[in-house]
Amino acid sequence: MLQMQARSAVIYEELDVFPEVLVIGCGTEGAAAALAVSENQPVTVIDHDTNHDGLSLIKGQTNITVNAGVKVVGLDGFPGQFLVSFMENGEYTKKSFGAIIVALEAQSSYDAKKYNRIELGERILSLSQFIKKDNDYSRQKVTFVLGQADRDSISSYATALSQAIALKEKDADVSILYYDMKVSADHLEQDYELARARGVNFLKYEGDLQILKTDVAATVQYSEPFLEETEQVKLVSDYLVLPEDYVAHPGTADLADVLDVNTGPNGFFQEDNVHFLPIMSNREGIYFIGSCHGPIYGVELEKEIETVKAEVGRFASGKTRVASLQPQVDAEKCAVCLTCYRCCPHHAIEIVHDESLNNMYHSAARMNPLACRHCGICSAECPGKAIQLPNYKDGQILQQLSRPPKIVAFACENSGTLAAELANKIEPELNALIQVVPVPCSGKIDALYLLKALERGADGVLLIACQKENCKYSRGNVRADQRKELVRKRLEAIGLEGDRVDIVHVAANQGNQFNESIRSMVARVNQLGSYPGKVIR
Is 247 a binder of other proteins (CB under 8 A)?
A: no
- Contacting range for other proteins; rule: CB under 8 A; set: 83-91, 115-123, 124-132, 529-537: 529-537
On whether the CB atoms of residues 15 and 319 are closer than 8 A, the answer is: yes
**SS3 letters for 434-461?**
EEEEEECCHHHCCHHHHHHHHHCCCCEE
Is 318 a binder of other proteins (CB under 8 A)?
A: no
Q: What are φ and ψ of residue 250, in 5° steps?
A: -60, -20
- Contacting range for other proteins; rule: CB under 8 A; set: 56-64, 132-140, 169-177, 297-305: 297-305
Is 499 a binder of other proteins (CB under 8 A)?
A: no
| Neighbouring-strand partners of residue 366 | 350
Q: How far is CA 323 from CA 47, 98, 320, 496, in A?
A: 35, 18, 10, 43
Is 208 a binder of other proteins (CB under 8 A)?
A: no
Is 63 a binder of other proteins (CB under 8 A)?
A: no
Candidate residues 16, 76, 119, 180; the one interacting with other proteins per rule CB under 8 A: 180
Shortest distance in whole angstroms from residue 204 CB to other proteins: 9
Q: Residue 426, Cβ neighbours under 10 Å: how many? A: 11
Whats the size of the chain, residue-wise? 537
Is 257 a binder of other proteins (CB under 8 A)?
A: no
- Contacting range for other proteins; rule: CB under 8 A; set: 82-90, 246-254, 346-354, 490-498: 490-498
Q: Which residues, 333 to 352, sit near other proteins by CB under 8 A?
A: 333, 335, 337-339, 342-343
Shortest distance in whole angstroms from residue 123 CB to other proteins: 28
Shortest distance in whole angstroms from residue 186 CB to other proteins: 6
- Contacting range for other proteins; rule: CB under 8 A; set: 116-124, 135-143, 159-167, 265-273: 265-273
Candidate residues 283, 347, 472, 488; the one interacting with other proteins per rule CB under 8 A: 472
Is 94 a binder of other proteins (CB under 8 A)?
A: no
Is 273 a binder of other proteins (CB under 8 A)?
A: yes
On whether the CB atoms of residues 156 and 180 are closer than 8 A, the answer is: no
C-alpha torsion 55→57→58→60, nearest 10 = 100
Candidate residues 128, 143, 153, 474; the one interacting with other proteins per rule CB under 8 A: 153
Is 393 a binder of other proteins (CB under 8 A)?
A: no
Is 264 a binder of other proteins (CB under 8 A)?
A: yes
In whole angstroms, what is the distance from residue 162 CA to residue 139 CA? 18
In whole angstroms, what is the distance from residue 360 CA to residue 59 CA? 54
- Contacting range for other proteins; rule: CB under 8 A; set: 103-111, 133-141, 177-185, 349-357: 177-185
Q: How far is CA 321 from CA 17, 56, 248, 315, 316, in A?
A: 10, 36, 35, 9, 12
Q: What are φ and ψ of residue 83, in 5° steps?
A: -115, 110
Q: 3-class DSSP state for residue 357?
A: coil
Nearer to other proteins, 215 or 229 (CB): 229
Is 226 a binder of other proteins (CB under 8 A)?
A: yes
Shortest distance in whole angstroms from residue 417 CB to other proteins: 8
Count of residues of this chain found to bind other proteins when the rule CB under 8 A is applied: 112
Nearer to other proteins, 42 or 264 (CB): 264
Q: Which residues, 403 to 422, sit near other proteins by CB under 8 A?
A: 413-415, 417-418
In whole angstroms, what is the distance from residue 461 CA to residue 488 CA? 11
Is 203 a binder of other proteins (CB under 8 A)?
A: no
Q: Residue 77, Cβ neighbours under 10 Å: how many? A: 17
Nearer to other proteins, 455 or 499 (CB): 455
Q: In 280-295, which positions are buried (b, 16+ CB within 10 angstroms) versus exposed (e)?
A: bbbbbbbbbbbbbbbb
Q: Which residues, 368 to 387, sit near other proteins by CB under 8 A?
A: 381-386
Nearer to other proteins, 50 or 184 (CB): 184
On the 0-12 / 13-18 / 19+ scale of CB atoms within 10 A, 122 is exposed
Is 475 a binder of other proteins (CB under 8 A)?
A: no
Q: Which residues, 420 to 449, sit near other proteins by CB under 8 A?
A: 426, 446-448
Q: How far is CA 212 from CA 38, 59, 83, 232, 375, in A?
A: 49, 45, 55, 13, 57
List the x/- string, 122-151, binding to other proteins by CB under 8 A: -----------------------------x
On whether the CB atoms of residues 200 and 180 are closer than 8 A, the answer is: no
Is 497 a binder of other proteins (CB under 8 A)?
A: no
